[in-house]
Amino acid sequence: MEEEELSGLENLEELWLGKNKIEKIAGLSKLTKLRRLDVQSNRLTKIENLAAQVDTLEELYLAHNGIDNEGAKRETGLALPFTKLDTLDLSRNRLTDTSPFAHLKSLSELWISGNDIKAFEDVEPIAGLELEGIYLEYNPVDKEFEYRKKLKEMIPSLNQIDANL
């Protein structure tokens, strides 16, 4: 999306762009009041160009794309120190571990079901977060013995694991 396509929308707080064949997050630099961004079911492979939203973004929905760990760690994307990001949905992407989210201290909801997270070692990076809810089902790790119990031990603040505790 080009910058001029969003001109005059500086006060926009929510932007929903699902199912538009978008390949790159762009054109958002003037949307400094954006609280909710939905770019689900597109063709994204990386998360970038979100620096203007670092102090306002509360919810980011990026499910059903092609984002892998490298694409999730981009300097102008999730590597930024988001101060209000509460809900992050990266379900049905290509993630192999939770390292891209370890520094996101404001997160309370992390939805990463349907990726390729294989073992508890791959979840360990987010053990220090105060998450209230996590969706990890449809990852190989959900087949591990005592999966829910181990998650709760790893992240004691959880009160929602997948569809139930």
The per-residue pLDDT for 41 is 98
pLDDT above 70 for 115: yes
pTM: 0.96
Task: Give the DSSP H or E segment for 69.
Answer: helix 69-72
Closest of 17, 99, 51, 119 to residue 110, by C-alpha: 99
Which pLDDT tens digit goes with each residue over 8-51?
A: 899 999 999 999 999 999 999 999 999 999 999 999 999 999 99
How much of the chain exceeds pLDDT 90, in percent? 93
The per-residue pLDDT for 165 is 58
**5 falls in which pLDDT band (50, 70, 90)?**
confident
